[in-house]
Amino acid sequence: MFRAAGCKRFGICGRGIGRRRELRKLLIGVGAVVGLVVGLGFAAPLLIDLNDQKPRIAALIEEATGHRVVLGGDIRFTVLPVPAVSVRNVRVLGREAAGPDLADVQAIDLRLSLIALLGGKVDVAEVRLSRPVVIVAEADLGAPAPAGETPAPAAAGGGGADSVSVQRVLIEDGLIEWRPAAGPARRLEGLEANISAPSLYGPYTVSGGASYHGQPVALDLALGRFTSGQLLAYDVRLALAGGTMALGGSLDPAAPGGPAVQGKLRLSIDDPAAIGALTGIQLPVRGTIVAEGALKASAAAVAIDDLAVSVGDSRGSGRLAVAFGPTTAVSLKLRMPRLDGDALLAAVQAPAAEAAADAAALPAPPGPALALPAGVTADVDLAIDALQWSGAVIQKIALVAALEGGKLTLSKASAVLPGATDIGLSGAAASRDGRPRFEGTVDVASDNPRALTDWLKLTPDGLPAGRLTRFTLTAKVSTDGIGAALSDLVVRLDGSTARGSAGWQPGVRPTAMLSLDIDRVDADDYLGLAAPAVPAPAAPANPLAEIGAAAPAAPWPDPGFDLALRLKLGSLTLHGNEVKAVDLDGLVTPDTLRLTTLAVADYAGLKLGASGKLGFAKEAPEGDFAFQIEAPSPQPLLALAGIAAPAGTASLGRLAVEGRLTGKPEAPLVDAWASVGETRLALAGAIGSLRQPVFDLKGTFSAPELLALAVQAGLSPAPAGPVLGPVDLAITLRGTADQPAVEANGRLGPADLSLAGAIGAEGYRIAAKLEAANGAAMLTRLGLTGAVSGPLALALEARGKAGELVLSALKATVGPNRIEAEGTLATAGSRRFTGRISAPYLDLALFGGGTGPAGAATPAPARPAGNRWSTRPIDIEGLRRFDGAIDLAADRLVAGSFTLSAVSARLTAAQGVLSLADLKATADPGAVNGTVTLDASGDALGIAAEIRATGFDLDALTGRKGAEPGLSGSGDLTLGLTGIGRSTFEIVSSLTGQGSLLATEGRIHGIDLKTLSDGLKTVNQPGDIIGRIAAAVKAGSTAYRRIATDLAVARGIVKLAGIGSDIDGGTLSGDGTVDLPAWNTRLRLALKLAEPADLPPLGIDISGPPDAPGADVRSRDIENYYLQKFIGSKLPDIPGLGGGGGGGRDPGKAIVDQIFKGLGGK
């Protein structure tokens, strides 16, 4: 191992013979210099000037070393007080003339022992090298020796090593520079050393220090004397930055096969960060690292037995062995029972964060090709029984690998993570195209993946307890040292299975690739969601502003790589809906989304599609992005947006949305349209940047027929009537997302529409006009009003800001009706409204009541009782939100032929209680006043009403004219009611109260009781009866002074009790009920003639819906009376008289119908 490391770092393997020759030359040269200088030293001062001999001296040194030498300074020799030689500016030139010098010494000073010289020995007391510079180039070390430069062997005998001794060698401020064939140079600077040896056979001692990359280096070496046949003791201590190496033992120079070393090796790293700064290898360790063992080394093998490794408080043991030969064999076994990784975690995180930041900034390109060595075999067996890491224990960590013949076999790399998660990797690597390629398999199985994600801090908040219960992953893995790929990938999580592949391709911009086919995913199970309750619809104050507010500064953080994603999903459950057949194929970069395909076959009826590229940053390429949405109706799209779909949305028609987004991200263009059924909205133009939209869009809103649009809007047009025509509006949208402006102009069926709205810093404003020559009929056709006709003119001006709407003016003309309104509505919290509504003229036919203007009466058909009252819950909460006061006024209020004048009232609302107070009106003659209260403060809606109408004209109320049958006179009504319920039906069914109805000083038109009485007095035969009744009906009317009844209401049933009268020629009596919940009438009346006094009463039964009752005249008793009178026996009913329920229409029924209308019927 050490030999291999040395080969790689210093380039001294495989070139042994040439390099040893170079070192031998250098030693011979140094000896020659010392001997020559010393030998000449005594004679030179007496005989010659040594400076004149510098070329000769340099030539001799060059001959000895093979390198050219330049003696640039003076050579001086002194004898007294001690012999000394001084040489300045000595340079050893390189092999290439243009290359750097091999060595450069500023000064060499030698002090010799005079006594030793006189005795024939060379005793160098001190050699001082000042500022030596040595440059060692890897290329020069490999150069072959010049031909003919084989040095002579050292002579034996006299002048041997024992005759030369060097007491001390001093090196001052030296520098050694290593220049590898590739990579930057490395320098050992500030070299200071003290070397001594009594003889060339030793013993040697070396001590000194230097600086390497700013870190201190210290060396202490003790080497015993070389004695034939004896072991040589040594002790080496090297201190480098925060680490030390100690090696002590013995050296056997004469061992078989070459010198052999054995001893104790100890390596200690006290400061891993300092070692990392020095070597560039960051050690993720905090604390001391110690490795020690028994070293045995020779030219054939190196072994460290009893290897003990400690990292902090953790201990491990093993063995390292390296055998040299034609094939180098390496064996490493290391086992650690326990390793405390938490102690190392803090040291790991900071370098990892920095490395991640550097990688995100500029990923490094692939490194040079690396081949697995063919001449090396190795086997590695590493094991950690328990690793404490981030608060959990990782168990059974194992790595078993072998290298042979240039092929690396990974038998096992495995561990057991938290959650009983077994992870394993195996495979083989071999060199291919100059790079090692690994192919293998990876397996992961977890019985409790939730425990694993909890440990990794990846468990989403709110994840239900029943999720992440089982996880497995299997795949084939391959890498060439540059990229990596997973194939045959199978992932199973809970009940879902995914199959596909994944990969990683590095480069200037790396790309991660993921391709998965997933059978099904229930996202609701993982999100903890059930089908959500439909939220109450609430329009935001500025929906467009949410577009800009939702756009982040960047669409997503830059992970430092691009993502190529292909995803097919068979079924996805989301928010209670099933999404079927999702197909996604695209590339995601920090500034661009590129979609080859995005398709969703079915999401609760919604079909989605998209393709193209869409940029998000200024530097992104020009975009061209198309999208499509289809659905049977808008309902799925509203559900996706979380908006409650109004009733009937599913029947609006097919939804289609299609568009294209093009251009640069800072100035995109949009061209899109949306249609529901045959209604279509199209917009095109510029939208500014995606992050800060500035709209300049133009388009159209169209529908082939206004009636179809009305149906889509939830209206119920009349089944018959005129065609209204198409809708064709020109639309413009300008401004920013938070300050948009919208205009719409064009035709709305037969009407002209002009609409403008804008949102600004001060709030928003709306102005609208709708005009049509016969627009009132349009409203009738649309089902918005009753039967009205005439012009339509609507003008609206409103403004507002957050939480407040100000209705500046609302003026409406609908046929003869004119309505004006103004006020303020607080939209935040309680909806407080203050304002007024006035009507110079208002016909209740506008709201579907009354009979409309003269000549336009269209009575509504009777409604079945079951459909009369709605059972839908009343929005009680909505009533609670209203607060404030509205003043109501109408100059003329028309209900059919009945007209009220000077109508006024005040509607107030507070704390869920709405009151219509101070209701006053005149009927000319007559007056009406009362109060109505709605109480929504509880769980149900309560109602209380007090109504009093006096002196009103019955003809005006019933619409009777001239000689038409009916009841005329003056009427008084008093009624008090209370009720409570959650729907209209419940309220009507709970009504309770009492009142009275009184008619005075009028006439019953359509029958003359005196004529009838006189006629019946003279009946001589049964056939005369019909003639006498017909004569009474034709005669005209009967005066009355009073007709009255009490009203008692219970459970919605109005009981008419104690009907009494004061009528000329007879009396009217009876009783009955009006069942409001069932919408049914049952009255039984009796008309008794004054003369003949013994004549039975004429019976009248009224039944059916209150707004369209039917009457049966019971004349059987009168018929029997006359039959008994004439023949003394009863006869069957006479056809045509309507007895017993009567078949056809008779005069009596017409009279009864008109009388009932006079009492309040229709």
Residue 419 carries which DSSP code? T
With b for 16 or more beta-carbon neighbours within 10 A and e for fewer, the 609-618 pattern comes to: bbbbbbbbbe
Supply the pLDDT for residue 29. 52
Cα 1008 from Cα 1020, distance rounded (Å): 21
- Contact between 479 and 452 (Cβ < 8 Å): no
- Would you say residue 571 has pLDDT above 80? yes
Q: Is 225 helix (H, G, I), strand (E, B) or coil?
A: coil
What is the secondary structure of 507-539 as a DSSP string?
SSS-EEEEEEEEEEEEHHHHHT--SPPPPPP--
Instruction: Give the residue from 872, 800, 859, 811 showing the smallest Cα distance to 833.
Output: 800
What is the token pair recorded at 796? 């609206």
Supply the pLDDT for residue 141. 61
Supply the pLDDT for residue 349. 52
- Would you say residue 772 has pLDDT above 70? yes
Q: Which of 151-160, 167-176, 745-754, 1106-1115 has the lowest mean pLDDT?
A: 151-160
- Higher per-residue confidence, 643 vs 989: 989
Interval 634-646 mean pLDDT = 78
Cα 516 from Cα 493, distance rounded (Å): 13
- Contact between 495 and 471 (Cβ < 8 Å): no
Interval 749-753 mean pLDDT = 94
Cα 650 from Cα 676, distance rounded (Å): 11
Above pLDDT 70, what percent of the chain? 80
- Would you say residue 1061 has pLDDT above 70? yes
Interval 1144-1160 mean pLDDT = 45
- Would you say residue 924 has pLDDT above 60? yes
pLDDT 10s digits, 803-854: 888 999 999 999 999 999 999 988 776 678 899 999 999 988 887 643 433 3
What is the token pair recorded at 975? 């009624």
The CB density around residue 357, as the number of other CB atoms within 10 Å, is 10
Q: What is the 3-state secondary structure (H, E, C) of 451-491?
A: HHHHHCCCCCCCCCCCCCCCEEEEEEEEECCCCEEEEEEEE
Interval 486-504 mean pLDDT = 92
- Higher per-residue confidence, 1025 vs 1117: 1117
Cα 163 from Cα 117, distance rounded (Å): 10
Q: Is 604 helix (H, G, I), strand (E, B) or coil?
A: coil
- Contact between 284 and 291 (Cβ < 8 Å): no
Supply the pLDDT for residue 558. 75
CA dihedral (582, 583, 586, 592) positive or negative: negative
Cα 311 from Cα 339, distance rounded (Å): 8
- Would you say residue 337 has pLDDT above 60? yes
Confidence of residue 44 (pLDDT cuts 50, 70, 90): very low
pLDDT 10s digits, 693-720: 889 999 999 999 998 888 888 788 888 8
Supply the pLDDT for residue 1034. 65
Q: What is the mean pLDDT of the chain?
A: 79
Q: Which residue has the tokens 């520098």?
A: 175
Interval 762-774 mean pLDDT = 92
pLDDT 10s digits, 510-522: 899 999 999 998 8
List helix spans (H) across 634-750: 635-640, 706-712
Supply the pLDDT for residue 663. 84
Confidence of residue 140 (pLDDT cuts 50, 70, 90): low
Q: Verify cis geometry, omega within 30 degrees of 0, for the bond prior to 510.
A: no
Distances 5 to 1, 15, 224, 382, 435 between C-alpha atoms, Å: 6, 15, 27, 21, 21
Supply the pLDDT for residue 981. 94
Cα 110 from Cα 126, distance rounded (Å): 6
Confidence of residue 76 (pLDDT cuts 50, 70, 90): confident
Q: Which residues contact 206 (CB under 8 A, 6 or more apart)?
A: 193, 194, 195, 219, 220, 221, 222
pLDDT 10s digits, 650-674: 888 899 999 998 888 778 899 999 9
Q: Is 739 helix (H, G, I), strand (E, B) or coil?
A: coil
Q: Which of 310-319, 529-538, 769-778, 1091-1100 has the lowest mean pLDDT?
A: 529-538
What is the token pair recorded at 407? 């092929």
Supply the pLDDT for residue 370. 54
- Higher per-residue confidence, 48 vs 1078: 1078
Interval 1003-1027 mean pLDDT = 77
Supply the pLDDT for residue 1138. 40
Among 133-147, 754-768, 884-898, 1127-1141, top mean pLDDT goes to 754-768
What is the token pair recorded at 105? 């010494």
Confidence of residue 761 (pLDDT cuts 50, 70, 90): confident
Cα 501 from Cα 804, distance rounded (Å): 57
The CB density around residue 514, as the number of other CB atoms within 10 Å, is 15
Residue 1142 carries which DSSP code? -
Interval 914-931 mean pLDDT = 90
Cα 654 from Cα 675, distance rounded (Å): 8
The CB density around residue 243, as the number of other CB atoms within 10 Å, is 20
Q: Which of 179-183, 542-546, 556-560, 768-772 has the lowest mean pLDDT?
A: 542-546
- Would you say residue 160 has pLDDT above 80? no
Cα 253 from Cα 262, distance rounded (Å): 12
- Contact between 859 and 849 (Cβ < 8 Å): no
- Contact between 568 and 593 (Cβ < 8 Å): no
Q: Which residues contact 877 (CB under 8 A, 6 or more apart)?
A: none
Q: Which residue has the tokens 């009927």?
A: 923
pLDDT 10s digits, 409-447: 999 999 999 989 999 999 998 877 777 788 999 999 999
Angle between helices 1024-1035 and 1009-1017 (to 10 degrees): 160
Residue 817 carries which DSSP code? E
Q: Is 1093 helix (H, G, I), strand (E, B) or coil?
A: coil
Above pLDDT 90, what percent of the chain? 29
pLDDT 10s digits, 965-983: 778 899 999 999 999 999 9
Confidence of residue 279 (pLDDT cuts 50, 70, 90): low
Cα 778 from Cα 725, distance rounded (Å): 10
Interval 87-114 mean pLDDT = 80
What is the secondary structure of 266-334 as a DSSP string?
EEEES-HHHHHHHHS------S-EEEEEEEEEESSEEEEEEEEEEETTEEEEEEEEEE-SSSEEEEEEE
Q: Which of 69-83, 206-220, 566-580, 766-780 has the lowest mean pLDDT?
A: 69-83
Interval 47-73 mean pLDDT = 73
Supply the pLDDT for residue 84. 82
Q: Which of 303-312, 640-649, 1101-1110 has the lowest mean pLDDT?
A: 640-649
